[in-house]
Amino acid sequence: MSSESADAIKPPDPIRAVPVRHWGRWVSAALVLALVAWLVEAAISAHFIDFAVVRRYQFSSLILKGLQATVVLAVLAQITGIALGVVFAVMRLSKNPVMSAVSSFYIWFFRGTPVLVQLFFWYNGIPQVFHTLTIAIPFTHLTLYTTPMTSFMTAFMAAFLGLALNEGAYMAEIVRAGIISVDEGQVEAASALGMRSALTLRRIVLPQAMRVIIPPTGNEFISLLKTTSLASTITYGELLRRAGDIYSTNLEVVPLLIVASIWYLVLTSIASIGQYYIERRFARGRMRSTAETPLQRVRAVMRQRPRL
């Protein structure tokens, strides 16, 4: 009797099972490696890519200037787009029918026309229709500021206005989806505490909507980083335009397109990493414990390695 109960207390041996072998993974890895090797070999032997040229231009001052112009344009357009998006999302959800209609029209128009056409409108169209830009007090003859439209609507200004207004329309829908996703009970609880709608929006609804807003906003920014290349068509000196300037004189088209592509990849990769960490920040309070970052996971694996 006593020996039996002692047996019951002793835990059973841990399971040491032979893991399932994933032969398929090894086979597919081998196939992929072979394919990549073949492509690289073909590219090199055909002198498709002249890496010396790529290396020479990757950090050249013209390209870096273009890179800077791309980043400035994308960041400004995105920030403005987010601000416009919040404003138009709130208007769209407003009980005021005028506000809601104005917002619907804005979203319909800017989402419904190609951004390239919008850029042409700002850069080529507006200066043709309005020859001067004048800031004046309506119904008087007082003029505060006036300038020829062509000196106001620079390539940068047109690119910024075009991309920001277009981005604002997409962000409005993203922000609206985020606001709608927040539980109604949250607004009720805030109202019951005497909080008014603007305060409730700022302190209670938007911070919670962020969890839904950020992932698509990250996608928007990554997409916008690449869409800035359209501004090359209206003479804005961003990355692609600079690369084009160079290859139109030295005819090294492919290496310079690769130079530009590498920079786009670098920018979008940085944006993805940033997005990951911002998402974690706003997941706060949603999960019982936050998941490890990839970096922490790598460190954990490194610590375990010697034991295997």
Q: Which residues bind other proteins (CB under 8 A)?
A: 183, 185-186, 188-197, 199, 203-204, 207-208, 282, 284-288
3-state secondary structure 63-129: HHHHHHHHHHHHHHHHHHHHHHHHHHHHHHHCCCHHHHHHHHHHHHHHHHCCHHHHHHHHHHHHHHH
DSSP for 142-199, written as a single string: -EEEEEEHHHHS-HHHHHHHHHHHHHHHHHHHHHHHHHHHS-HHHHHHHHHTT--HHH
In terms of CB distance, is 41 or 188 closer to other proteins? 188
In terms of CB distance, is 55 or 202 closer to other proteins? 202
Q: How far is the CB of 12 from other proteins (least distance, A)?
A: 32
* 101 and 115 Cβ atoms separated by less than 8 Å: no
In terms of CB distance, is 128 or 191 closer to other proteins? 191
Q: How far is the CB of 198 from other proteins (least distance, A)?
A: 10
Q: How far is the CB of 78 from other proteins (least distance, A)?
A: 23
In terms of CB distance, is 159 or 182 closer to other proteins? 182
Q: How far is the CB of 208 from other proteins (least distance, A)?
A: 6
What is the sign, positive or negative, of the torsion defined by CA atoms of 194, 197, 200, 205?
A: positive
Distance of CA 39 to CAs 35, 50, 55, 153, 262, Å? 6, 15, 21, 46, 18
User: Residue 98 corresponds to which amino acid?
Assistant: V
Q: How far is the CB of 212 from other proteins (least distance, A)?
A: 13
In terms of CB distance, is 206 or 225 closer to other proteins? 206
Residues contacting residue 235 through CB under 8 Å, at least 6 positions apart: 123, 155, 241
What is the C-alpha separation between 217 and 252, in angstroms, rounded?
A: 36
* 163 and 73 Cβ atoms separated by less than 8 Å: yes
Q: How far is the CB of 171 from other proteins (least distance, A)?
A: 21
In terms of CB distance, is 207 or 218 closer to other proteins? 207
